[in-house]
Amino acid sequence: MENFELIRSRRRTLALEITKDCRVLVRAPLRLSKAKIDAFVSSHEAWIQTHLEQQRQRAASAPPPLTPEEITALKARARAILPEKAAYWSQKMGVRPTGLKITTARKRYGSCSGKNSLCFSCFLMNCPEEAIDLVVVHELCHIREKNHGPRFYALLEQYLPDYKERKKLLK
């Protein structure tokens, strides 16, 4: 049986988690017996092994972390490119963002606030030009459509008919 870290809380169910650093976490109710927890982990041994291996492969293929200088360079490049792109597409789409900010967000490339302020990650600069345009247009579409409903995707498709192919470039 795989070693695991046990976290007890006021929950009602058992849960397994494989962390980015390849630790196995088991979340359990406060009063559940250790024997039942061990049985649960044993019954999920194959799942644990599969996901541990996947996580190890991801960790091995992940690019090395960027230095502060590299991040500063990406931010500078983003500041040079993204405002121009946002202005071009804003004019073409007939929308006006209230602001534009560059961040070091790692989980999402862009966002649009309720007040129509755009935010882009500097890591978007590591993507191909077509993907950068997709993210800019996607966020500008949120000025008109605040959700990801059918009207949002119809609007996105109106400006980028190949948005599905471009989206594949982001992965």
Domains and CATH numbers, the chain: 5-61 (no CATH), 68-168 (3.30.2010.10)
Token pair in block for residue 3:
């070693």
The pLDDT value recorded for residue 64 is 75
Write down the pLDDT at residue 171.
72
Cα dist from 171 to 87, 115, 124, whole Å: 26, 28, 11
Write out pLDDT tens, residues 73-117: 999 999 999 999 999 999 999 999 999 999 999 889 999 999 999
- Please determine, for residue 1, whether its predicted confidence score (pLDDT) is greater than 90: no
Residue 160, pLDDT above cutoff 90: yes
Q: What average pLDDT score do residues 130-148 get?
A: 97
Q: Find tokens 């690019």 and name the residue.
A: 63
pLDDT digits (tens, 9 = 90+) for 26-55: 999 999 999 999 999 999 999 999 999 999
Please list, in sequence order, all residues whose beta carbon lies within 8 angstroms of the beta carbon of residue 13, skipping any fewer than 6 positions away: 29
5-9: strand order across its sheet = 5-9, 24-29, 15-18
Band (pLDDT 50/70/90 cuts) for residue 58 is confident
With a threshold of 0.85, does the pTM exceed it? no
CB count, 10 Å around CB of 89?
A: 19
What backbone torsions phi and psi does residue 69 show, to the nearest 5 degrees?
-65, -40
Give the pLDDT score at 48: 96
Query: Dmax over Cα atoms in the chain, in whole Å?
Result: 64
Q: Are 74 and 66 in contact (CB under 8 A)?
A: yes
When pLDDT is cut at 50, 70 and 90, the band that residue 65 belongs to is confident
Q: What is the mean pLDDT of residues 58-78?
A: 88
**Sign of the alpha-carbon torsion through 36, 38, 41, 42:** negative
What is d(CA 110, CA 129) in angstroms, rounded to the nearest whole number?
15
pLDDT value of position 61:
76
> Does residue 66 carry a pLDDT above 90?
no
118: its two tokens: 């755009």
